[in-house]
Structure 1
Amino acid sequence: MRKTTRITQGLHEKRAKVTVTKVKRRNIIVLAVSMFIANVAFGMAFPYLGVYMRLLGASMFMVGLLSVAFNLTSTVFQYPFGWLSDSTGNRKGFIAFGVASTGLFYVAMAFVGSATGVLILRTLQGIFGSAMMPAHSALISELSTRAGSIFGLFNSIENAGFMVGNFLGSAIVRYFGIRKLFLISGFLLFVSAWIVLLIRERPTGRRSILGMILVQEGRESWRATVKGSAFRKLMRGHLGLFYVTVFLVMIASGQFYGVSSVYFKETFGEWSVGVIFGIESLAAALTGYFLGKLIDRYGAKKFYLIAIAGYGLAFLLYAVVRNVWLVFGIAFLSGVKWVLTINSTSAYVAQNVSVRERAQGMGLLNAMMSLGWVVGPLIGGYLSGISFQLNFMSTLVPLGLAFVLALRLPG
């Protein structure tokens, strides 16, 4: 009797494990499809926000404020939304709410009549759209025990979606106009939100936030986890110097990318904006894995220095080249330097921060990136009002300082 009971219990446990595995696999597929569609929408709309502001009469400084407003509000409001998601054990609901909210504000932008209105909507988009961010990271982490693999999978899927959106956005603007672009982006985000709700989620208790998401170079989102306990320790010595160099590099990045879409539009035409961003995304997708293997073999510091030099070269070439076909080649180089920066800086933190504090180290890395993207667009917006070339050339100042300081880092 006891033997029969043990066999029956074992069969029930085996069936339960198989069921859980099937549900997780289904959830991975549903979330992947949803996030691909969402990133197509992001890739369509994001590059043309600055262009739209200019069409509505905004100054270049006001264009720069778009990035500042979104970064600040999305960062501030992630924690309360993350706390609510953890408290309720609800992931898909907050993801769907954030995605749908983002779509709603894109639709509203299609009907707004002033640059100030777009800036206000972008600020609100940062507030309500941030509802998806902590829940998105937490849900992904709960879909597999192999965190690195599952995040790598979703990063690839979301980057591919962003690239597709870049190219589609260029075609839509060319044939239908910018306002229709925002309407289509909003519709795709509504579809994405509906698909997320198909996830089968089991209610659980309170859980810690895995990560927050911050906007970065040509992307709607990026993960970051920051806790105060290790901050002072991480900012001491060579690690503190490293984080300062990252902040300086991202100031230069924000200077350029905060206004680049307007520059591309005025120099090469509206159609070029999505194509150039798309080529950057394509380069990042194609070279990321290969560059990561090289970093593992030869060391993070060497490739971080190459990445900083790549920033300077790319921004210098963008400032002087007027042939759009040559600019496409520069865009590929620019995409490579971006993924090289992400891979090398992440690897440097992993190699120099203890396992116990590694999440906080990675979080501080992304926090420095975000902070640079708050300062950079302010500078870029002001200087571009004088001259785009002046702004692009001036990025060599923080980049040069970052390169010199990075030379002092231990290998």
Structure 2
Amino acid sequence: MPKREKAVLQGKRERTLKFKKLRVKRRNIVILAVSMFIANVAFGMAFPYLSVYMQYLGATMFMVGLLSVAFNLTSTIFQYPFGWLSDATRNRKGFIALGTASIGLFYAVMAFVSSPVQVLFLRTLQGIFGSAMTPAHSALISELSTRAGSIFGLFNSIENAGYMVGNFIGSAMVEYLGIKSLFVISGLLLFLSAGIVLLIRERPAGRRSLMGMILVQEGRESWRATVKSSAFKKLMRGYLGLFYFTVFLVMVASGQFYSVSSVYFKEAFGEWSVGVLFGIESLAAALTGYFLGRLIDRYGAKKFYLMAVFGYALVFILYAIVRNVWLAFGIAFLSGIKWILTINSTSAYVAQKVSVSERAQGMGLLNAMMSLGWVVGPLIGGYLSGISFQLNFFSTVVPLSIAFILALRLPE
């Protein structure tokens, strides 16, 4: 065959392969979006009523705070290892499905318990097995597009739309079917989500087996130890380590507020308001997520991260002051915007600064810092809220101010 014809044929093959990859990527985006929408409907139904359910079963405010501590402590411990396994095996969908199905199973079992201690135990198990989902989920999203801000903005809008739907459904379901039915239906939806995500097509990891990676090889340092140690040290060094620390401080403040917010909303505005306020937050995040993601791509993640930290302080102060439920709805909308700013900007920052081979570990470390903040924050929030909700809300300004000052030093 003449060289010219070979070149033409090769060009056609490359275009066909490129089109095929693009088609698979678009198909994966649709499947993941549907799966995560359903999962977040379930999360939006169940999560806002966990604290209320604990109170129904006789828990103290301190024990309500421990509910968040138990979940986030175990999540902090296990997210990085699960992120490393996801990178090592190049298996994203399997870990997403494992985490989603596990959370669903333990939600369903919660409907049949009779004491707050049992709920606390099940929430701990959710933290362990559910942490398999988050690093792989974030890494898979980052691999679907080179425009990190836009793709995270798109998925955060979709997921917050699902969470919003779940908030409103959960509010109605508690009223007409009872809180136990809420957890059963949430569990079934999460099983459905796990089944859908398995339809994603991924490239094989290669010949290296999972067992081969985990077992220590005789005569030399294991590949597992080398990769895990070097990546962790590199991610925690320099400005990335500073960035992760600021995220931890922001989440301390977040944990102080949100670990007791459901109880506060119920007491201040009525039980019906719990799902509605969470739903408005999710609505704001869904409406603005993609737009803000595009702005992050254009102007940089750092600027929007600083705006998000300032937004946290403003929202928590306003919640401490406002007593009118209609004004609280406006604060909830603002709160949704600061949340989507946080998720989009921090995820985009990690995606832009961490190599693809360590992306899930970077995302896992980001989520671990968030979870660790939610270990410390609820302990503080549960204690201070026992004295005064307002004292707790105003005190969040301290870690947020430190985080803002430190974040000013981050490179663009």
Give the TM-score normalised by the residue count of structure 1.
0.79
Q: How does 1:274-313 map to 2 (within 5 A)?
A: 274-288=275-289, 307-313=308-314
Matched residue count: 391
Structure 2 residue corresponding to 1:229, chosen from 230, 234, 240:
234
Are 1:59 and 2:55 matched, yes or no?
no
192-201 or 158-167, larger mean C-alpha shift? 192-201
Are 1:394 and 2:392 matched, yes or no?
no
Contact 1:174/1:270 (CA < 8 Å) preserved in 2?
Answer: no
What corresponds to 1:216 in structure 2? none
**1:197 to 1:60, Cα distance in 2 relative to 1, 3 A:** same
Shift of 1:399: 3.6
Q: Distance in 2 between matches of 1:338 and 1:110?
A: 29
**1:166 to 1:405, Cα distance in 2 relative to 1, 3 A:** same
Contact 1:307/1:340 (CA < 8 Å) preserved in 2?
Answer: yes
Contact 1:350/1:358 (CA < 8 Å) preserved in 2?
Answer: no
**1:304 to 1:17, Cα distance in 2 relative to 1, 3 A:** closer
Opposite residue 392 of structure 2, the aligned amino acid is N
Q: Distance in 2 between matches of 1:133 and 1:354?
A: 17
Are 1:94 and 2:95 matched, yes or no?
yes
What corresponds to 1:198 in structure 2? 199
What corresponds to 2:175 in structure 1? 174
Q: Distance in 2 between matches of 1:81 and 1:383?
A: 34
What corresponds to 1:211 in structure 2? none
Q: Distance in 1 between matches of 2:397 and 2:77?
A: 30
What corresponds to 1:263 in structure 2? 264
56-65 or 335-344, larger mean C-alpha shift? 335-344
**1:198 to 1:364, Cα distance in 2 relative to 1, 3 A:** closer
Shift of 1:188: 0.7
Are 1:336 and 2:337 matched, yes or no?
yes
**1:288 to 1:86, Cα distance in 2 relative to 1, 3 A:** closer
What corresponds to 1:77 in structure 2? 78
Q: Distance in 1 between matches of 2:169 and 2:356?
A: 43
Q: Distance in 1 between matches of 2:196 and 2:354?
A: 39
**1:114 to 1:266, Cα distance in 2 relative to 1, 3 A:** same
258-267 or 367-376, larger mean C-alpha shift? 367-376
Q: Distance in 2 between matches of 1:199 and 1:405?
A: 40
Opposite residue 227 of structure 1, the aligned amino acid is F
Opposite residue 234 of structure 1, the aligned amino acid is Y
What corresponds to 1:124 in structure 2? 125
The secondary structure found in structure 2 opposite 1:259 is helix
Contact 1:92/1:135 (CA < 8 Å) preserved in 2?
Answer: yes
Contact 1:89/1:206 (CA < 8 Å) preserved in 2?
Answer: no
What corresponds to 1:30 in structure 2? 31
Contact 1:166/1:275 (CA < 8 Å) preserved in 2?
Answer: yes
CA RMSD of aligned residues (A): 4.0
Shift of 1:60: 1.3
Shift of 1:37: 0.5
Percent of aligned pairs sharing the same letter? 77
**1:394 to 1:123, Cα distance in 2 relative to 1, 3 A:** same
Contact 1:31/1:199 (CA < 8 Å) preserved in 2?
Answer: yes
Shift of 1:183: 0.9
1:108-150 C-alpha deviation (Å, 9 max, x unpaired): 0111111111110011011112222333334434545555544
1:276-313 C-alpha deviation (Å, 9 max, x unpaired): 01111222233345556777888877765654443333
The secondary structure found in structure 1 opposite 2:199 is coil
Contact 1:86/1:205 (CA < 8 Å) preserved in 2?
Answer: no
**1:302 to 1:3, Cα distance in 2 relative to 1, 3 A:** closer
**1:297 to 1:264, Cα distance in 2 relative to 1, 3 A:** same
What corresponds to 1:218 in structure 2? none
**1:387 to 1:291, Cα distance in 2 relative to 1, 3 A:** same
Gaps of 5+ in 1: 208-225
The secondary structure found in structure 1 opposite 2:236 is helix
Q: How does 1:369-388 map to 2 (within 5 A)?
A: 369-388=370-389
Q: How does 1:105-254 map to 2 (within 5 A)?
A: 105-144=106-145, 148-205=149-206, 227-234=232-239, 240=242, 245-254=246-255
255-264 or 312-321, larger mean C-alpha shift? 312-321
The secondary structure found in structure 1 opposite 2:250 is helix
Opposite residue 317 of structure 2, the aligned amino acid is L
161-170 or 178-187, larger mean C-alpha shift? 161-170
The secondary structure found in structure 2 opposite 1:227 is helix
**1:68 to 1:27, Cα distance in 2 relative to 1, 3 A:** same
The secondary structure found in structure 2 opposite 1:32 is helix
**1:94 to 1:349, Cα distance in 2 relative to 1, 3 A:** closer
Q: Distance in 1 between matches of 2:404 and 2:299?
A: 18
Shift of 1:75: 2.8
1:138-176 C-alpha deviation (Å, 9 max, x unpaired): 443454555554444322222221122122211211221
Q: Distance in 1 between matches of 2:10 and 2:291?
A: 47
Contact 1:45/1:181 (CA < 8 Å) preserved in 2?
Answer: yes
Q: Distance in 2 between matches of 1:36 and 1:81?
A: 22
**1:364 to 1:46, Cα distance in 2 relative to 1, 3 A:** same
Q: Distance in 2 between matches of 1:354 and 1:335?
A: 27
